[in-house]
Each structure stands twice: as structure tokens, then as C-alpha cells.
Copies of this chain bind each other. A is one copy, B any other.
Amino acid sequence: MWPRSDLTDLLGIDHPIIQAPMAGSDGPVLAAAVSNAGGVGSLGCGEMSAEKLREEFDKTRASTTRPFIINFFAHDTPVFPSDDAASMRKQLAIYYEELGLGQDLTLSASPMRSFDAAMLEAVLDLRPEIVSFHFGLPSEEMLDALKSAGSIILCSATTVTEARKLEAGGVHAIIAQGYDAGGHRGTFSTPVDAGNVGTFALIPQIVDAVSVPVIAAGGIADGRGIAAAFALGASGVQMGTAFLLCPESAASPIHRQVLQQARDDSTVVTRAFTGRPARTIVNRFVEEMAPQDREVPAFPLQDSLTLPLHFESVAQGSKDFAALFSGQASALSRTLPAGELVDALVAEAQKILGR
């Protein structure tokens, strides 16, 4: 049915299509819909507490008997607070003022959690079929515990070097995330902005370098992209932006509106929102922060400072300060229920592959 079945066999799914984790825009409804259609949905849990994770996991489990993925960040956590943050907070004050947020905002000290002992405990209780990581892997002990509990482990690589490290670290499959991808680049090497390898060039080089299944990610939005990923040697795809317009996604109305108008050249990779390179639709905030892109406080400190701007901008229906994550192929996205989208993707890809 597919040119390679190593990934579908590994994950226990019908179709090699992963709905990418998109913390803030995904959720149990979307994940369950994708899994029920024979692909596999993801919950981006990087912004959740352990309690919230249990809640969201249970909601998803209640809506599908199929496997789904829970996704975590595994970044090094910087020391809080920092002088950088104080300086940036001062600079952003003019924006807080403009949006009517005042100057006495309470900021979250750690809006994006790195996978920790509390999370591990929760995950070992929940016994998910599949756990994926971004920004590298957690400690060897944590990984061993997850694997002993029966979870399949996936992790993103943005270069061949990172893919080799992940294979040596014991992952079951590697998400090869190209520069075309929306959202945070999963880079865990330094410097964090090196490489920037496009999806087309990256996939075959990672496929040649490792023996575990490779999942292509970045700029894949329709059946043509799935067929192309297989041609390049991948065993499946991870698609994010393509699912944002589904009614089941948690994308905000302004995010949807902007995505529907986006072109191939509407995005840029910026650190302005969180401190780490992430691809978003260009807006006023991204443009005004561009000159100091390399000087913003470290991830996720910058996120603490910009989240109030994002939420207020979204609440006001304005795109100016919203983090509008998107890949470079958002113009190919369709407004379809997630299950119908998976069906369409499968039909398109198999028509090309069956040629």
C-alpha cells in the first residue's frame, strides 16, 4: 500500500501521516480525528503542567482507541531571571502600553517546560504508545524509563549530524525537519542558526546516514509532498500547517485568516517570539524585532515576555503581535475536517505512487 512500511509497522498505524505537535493550536479533538482516520495525531505538551498533560491525554484517549503521540521539549533551561530579560521587558513596554496591558504584567517564568521528573512520572503512568521530542532528547535515564514502559521514541533532527546523534541515543525513528518547516526549528546543536538545510536536500542525506525510519517534515502540505518524501527515501511525513485550517484545530481566528492569505514567501525564521528560531508569518512585531534577532533573551525567556502580546493581539483579532507559526507551503492548506483531509492526502499520494 505504501513503498515502505517500517514506520507504519513501528507506530501501528494505517497511513504514514503524522499530525505535527503545535502547542497552542493542536489538542485532543484534532489529534483523535487524525488518529481515527488512520494517521497519527500529536499533542504538543511543551507548555503543559503534568496535571494538564494527564487531562489532555485522557481526553484524547477517550476519543480514539488508536495510537497518538505526546510531544515534549528537551531544551537546556536557562537561569531565570536575567539582565537580558529586564532590558527586553523595558523595550517591550511600549508594546504592552499600546495593547493596553499596562506595566504590571505578571509574566510566566517558564512558559515552555523542558521534560522533567514530574513529567516523566506522569508519562510513565499514562503509558503512551508514542512520545516525540523537540530540541534534542532528555537524559539517558529518562529515555530508558520511557522505552522500558513500552513507548516508541521519535525526535527531530535538522542536520545529518543531529540525526546520527539521535540514532546513537536510541530513538526508534527520526523526524527530519527541513528549513521549509513552520514553528520551532528542532535544532539542538550550536550555533542554533547553522545549517538551515532545506527539506528537499535534508531528507535523502539523513536517510543515507541512519538505519531507523525517517519521517520527512517541512513544507509538506498535500499528496504530492507525501509521494515526494517517499521518493527521497522517507518512510512517512509529519505535517503541521496543513492541519491548522481543520475545524478541529485550536488555531485562532486571526491565525486562520492570515494562513488563508499567505503566500510561499510570507514567512521568515525569527527568534522574536521565544528566543529560538521559529518560522512564522511576517507581521509588524517580527519586522520591528528583526534588527536584534540574535540579541533577544534565551529561549524560553523571550516567550515569557512576548506571550502577553501574543494573547492580547489574538484577543483583539489583530495579527500585529501574534505568533503566527507557519511553514512555507501554507498556501496549499485546505479547510477540511481532519479525517477528510487525511483521506484526501492518502488518495492523492497513492495515485502518484501507484503510477
**A residues whose Cβ falls under 8 Å from a Cβ of B:** 3, 159-161, 178-180, 194-202, 204-206, 208, 218-222, 224-225, 227-233, 263-265, 268, 327-329, 331-332, 352-353, 355
Min CB–CB distance A229 → chain B (angstroms): 8
Residues of B within 8 A of A206 (CB): 264
Q: Which residue of B lies closest to A327 (CB)?
A: B201
Query: In the complex, what distance in Å separates the CA atom of A228 from the CA atom of B332?
Result: 17
Residues of B within 8 A of A208 (CB): 332
Residues of B within 8 A of A222 (CB): 204
Contact residue among B204, B230, B352 (Cβ-Cβ distance under 8 Å from A332): B204
Q: Is the CB of A198 within 8 A of B180?
A: yes
Min CB–CB distance A277 → chain B (angstroms): 13
Q: Is the CB of B205 within 8 A of A159?
A: no
Query: In the complex, what distance in Å separates the CA atom of A218 from the CA atom of B201?
Result: 8
Contact residue among B200, B233, B264 (Cβ-Cβ distance under 8 Å from A219): B200
Min CB–CB distance A227 → chain B (angstroms): 4
19 A–B pairs (Cβ distance < 8 Å), ordered by A: A179-B179, A180-B197, A195-B264, A197-B265, A198-B198, A198-B218, A199-B200, A199-B201, A200-B228, A200-B329, A201-B328, A202-B328, A204-B224, A204-B329, A205-B329, A227-B228, A228-B228, A228-B232, A231-B352
Residues of B within 8 A of A228 (CB): 200, 227-229, 231-232
Residues of B within 8 A of A161 (CB): 263, 265
Q: Is the CB of B202 within 8 A of A220?
A: no
The 4 A-B residue pairs whose C-beta atoms are closest, nearest first, are A201-B219, A195-B265, A180-B198, A201-B328
Q: Is the CB of B202 within 8 A of A264?
A: yes
Q: Is the CB of A180 within 8 A of B200?
A: yes
Q: Which residue of B lies closest to A179 (CB)?
A: B198
Query: In the complex, what distance in Å separates the CA atom of A218 from the CA atom of B218?
Result: 15
Output the residue of A194, A220, A225 with the most chain B CB within 10 A. Answer: A225
Min CB–CB distance A355 → chain B (angstroms): 6
Q: Which residue of B lies closest to A230 (CB)?
A: B231
Residues of B within 8 A of A328 (CB): 197-198, 201-202
Contact residue among B3, B227, B229, B264 (Cβ-Cβ distance under 8 Å from A201): B264
Query: In the complex, what distance in Å separates the CA atom of A224 from the CA atom of B216?
Result: 14
Q: Is the CB of A264 within 8 A of B159?
A: yes
Contact residue among B180, B232, B331 (Cβ-Cβ distance under 8 Å from A224): B232
Residues of B within 8 A of A197 (CB): 180, 264-265, 328
Query: In the complex, what distance in Å separates the CA atom of A331 from the CA atom of B201?
Result: 10
Contact residue among B195, B200, B265 (Cβ-Cβ distance under 8 Å from A225): B200
Query: In the complex, what distance in Å separates the CA atom of A231 from the CA atom of B233?
Result: 13
Residues of B within 8 A of A200 (CB): 178, 180, 198-200, 218-220, 225, 228, 329
Residues of B within 8 A of A202 (CB): 264, 328
